[in-house]
Structure 1
Amino acid sequence: MKLSQLTSCLESLAPLAYQEDYDNAGLIVGQPDQEVQQALISLDCTEAVVDEAIATGCQVIISHHPIVFRGLKKFNSKTYVERVVEKAIRNNIALYAIHTNLDHIMAGVNAKICETLGLKNCHILAPKNNLLKKLVTFVPHSHADAVRNALFEAGAGNIGNYSEVSFNANGTGTFNGNELTNPYIGEHGKRHREEEIRIESIYPAILESKILMALILSHPYEEVAYDLYPLTNQNQEVGAGMIGELEAPTPEEDFLYHIKEKMHAPVIRHTALTGRPIKKVAVCGGAGGFLLKQAIAAGADIFITADYKYHEFFDAEGKLVIADIGHFESEQFTQQLLYEIIRKKFSNFAVRLTEVNTNPVKYFI
């Protein structure tokens, strides 16, 4: 199949618009229209992973971490990044990354951590804003249901656990078409008054083109009147980190042992124990220190993440336990998540998990 079919599947779940500004998720090497028969999934894209792709006949490597974050000015094999890109190009292997956009969705990296640890009632810890917009349009009564249904089917009207959400108000519209018009109602050259319904509905900004196409195709007027409003509302379905609850309060040491076992963590760096049982658990795969304030504000008893610096541990101030389990360890299940997504969508497509342990950190215990 075409590489674009595979990347479209991933981006329908984790849109590139959800990634952080510093990130470089998406197609890094390759052409959307190139044919691919087999994909290799890895947390990182290293030389060993590219060699594995060559040996196993994979035409694309899907990694969580982008091999290129910043622009490359030279290709002379001096760095591992340059060597990976050069080898991929020489062997016609596409490189695709799905990074913070996958971190920020409800069914993403953090959800896998929550599932692994047995957490319940999970939700986004730090929801993102400026991802939602509102559409307002004006429709004759005869077509109100058709337009509403079209908008809902295109992805409008979803708020939390509710779907098909809209606000509707009656009013009177006026218009006067010139000689070039062919109005659905009324005559050109004469002002017409029509009883209409004002329909308002919220939608994800990334679906705007799809929403507008649905509106135009379902609306009877040849010139459709509509307004688009940017919203600063938080999108509760998109954001950084997650927080959930254990079935029952658990002693701190017992839960640390639980984390160590379930997350295959050789060692856990943590702050002093508080002496309180663990019930609420905040998590963030990768470097999540920026979410500490949100974890404390949400009432978390422990914050599980990675890449904590020495002085940052002081910020816990006895309010919760910070548990640094390691970057690789916190994101290791990303590979299985991507495997399941692709297999579910393309049951006959060959996809394999890397056999290379790409963790650059080793532990001497």
Structure 2
Amino acid sequence: MKCGEIIEELEKKYPLFMAEPWDNPGLLAGRREKEVRKVYIALDATDRVIGEAEKAGADLLLTHHPMVFSALKKVNTDDFIGRRLVELIRGDISYYAMHTNYDVVTMGEQAAEMLRLRDTEIMEVTYDDGSRQEGLGRTGELPGEMSLAECGRYVKQVFELDTVRLFGNPEQKVSRAAVLPGSGKSLVDAALRTGADVMISGDFGHHDGIDAVMRGLTVIDAGHYGIEKIFVSQMAGYIRETFTGLTVYTEKDENPFWVV
């Protein structure tokens, strides 16, 4: 199967026009006419991931986060982005990223389903053509009322995490959650607007967390990686179901940092 044929199917389900304006999803390196038999799926195109894709003999590297966000004026091995691009091109590995277009179509809904949220609604609508509505995150009712601490333990269990951070009184009762894989601090307003009393997301800094609590929103920070890692297994399942005859490899589930 040609790389371009795979991309065509991916973009039917996850259209590029649904990505945020600042984002850069799509084919970032390689050839559409490349014959693809092996696909490697990861969250980020790191040196380790590219090396593993090469060892696996992958023809296509598919990641969530784009390695290239802004325009490049040169591509050489003097910097890490250029070095990675050169390595991919030299290995004839086509490289495709699907970021916020995937987030709005699938990831928020997947996270909400894993948390068993009920009566969900889109937290922040980013696309609405009158017949179809998509957006970032989902807000819904938790399986039952619980304390913030209990909810934190529940999030750890669902997403198989070692730790989460809580902002707010651990004993406070919560019942309506807003979940946003990745970074959530910019969507506190949306979480409050949809009636959430706890936000489950990542990348909350000191002031982001205490400010949210002051506004009536408790926070469970599962880390940027903590929830977004579901992309790898979910996308692997989609590729296997949609494209027969492809061999799919996935990166090892490993947090990019250590807590000591």
Normalising by structure 1, we get a TM-score of 0.67
The amino acid of 2:199's aligned partner reads F
Q: How does 1:1-365 map to 2 (within 5 A)?
A: 1-105=1-105, 108-129=106-127, 131-132=128-129, 159=131, 237-273=133-169, 275-316=171-212, 317=214, 319-355=216-252, 357=254, 359-364=255-260
**Structure 1: gaps of 5 or more residues:** 134-158, 160-234
Residue in 2 that maps onto 1:179: none
1:119-141 residue CA offsets vs partner (Å, 9 max, x unmatched): 22222111124x427xxxxxxxx
CA RMSD of aligned residues (A): 1.7
3-state SS of 2:61 partner: strand
Q: Deviations over 1:144-186 (max 9, x none)?
A: xxxxxxxxxxxxxxx4xxxxxxxxxxxxxxxxxxxxxxxxxxx
Q: AA paired with 1:265?
A: L
Please say which structure displays the higher CA radius of gyration: 1
Q: Which runs of 5+ in 2 are unaligned?
A: none
Amino acid at match of 1:324: D
Conservation of the 8 A alpha-carbon contact between 1:49 and 1:356: no
CA contact (8 A) 1:48 1:356 kept: no
With structure 2 as the length reference, what TM-score do the two structures score? 0.93
Deviation of 1:4 after TM superposition, in Å, equals 1.1
**Corresponding residue SS for 1:253:** helix
Q: Would the alpha carbon gap of residues 40 and 275 (structure 1) be closer, same or farther in structure 2, given more than 3 Å must change? A: same
Distance across 1 between alignment mates of 2:70 and 2:126: 24
Q: Percent identity?
A: 30
- Report the alpha carbon displacement of residue 275 of structure 1 after superposing the two structures with TM: 4.5
Distance of aligned partners of 1:5 and 1:260 in 2 relative to their CA distance in 1, 3 Å threshold: same
Q: Distance in 2 between matches of 1:10 and 1:336?
A: 16
Counterpart-to-counterpart distance in 1, 2:10 and 2:209: 35
CA contact (8 A) 2:34 2:59 kept: no
* Contact 1:117/1:262 (<8 A) preserved: yes
| Matches of 1:342 and 1:123, distance apart in 2 | 27
Name the one with the larger helix percent. 2
Q: Return 335-344 or 108-117, whichever deviates more.
A: 108-117
* Paired letter, 2:15: P
- Report the Cα offset of residue 94 of structure 1: 0.6
Shift of 1:356: 6.8
Letter aligned with residue 279 of structure 1? S
The one-letter amino acid of 2:218's match is: V
1:45-81 Cα offsets, whole Å, 9 max, x none, are 1111111111111101000000111122233323321
Counterpart residue type for residue 94 of structure 1: S
CA–CA separation in structure 2 for the residues paired with 1:348 and 1:308: 42
Instruction: For residues 224-249 of structure 1, give each alpha carbon's deviation from its aligned partner in whole angstroms, at most 9, with x where no partner exists.
Output: xxxxxxxxxxx5x3111111212221
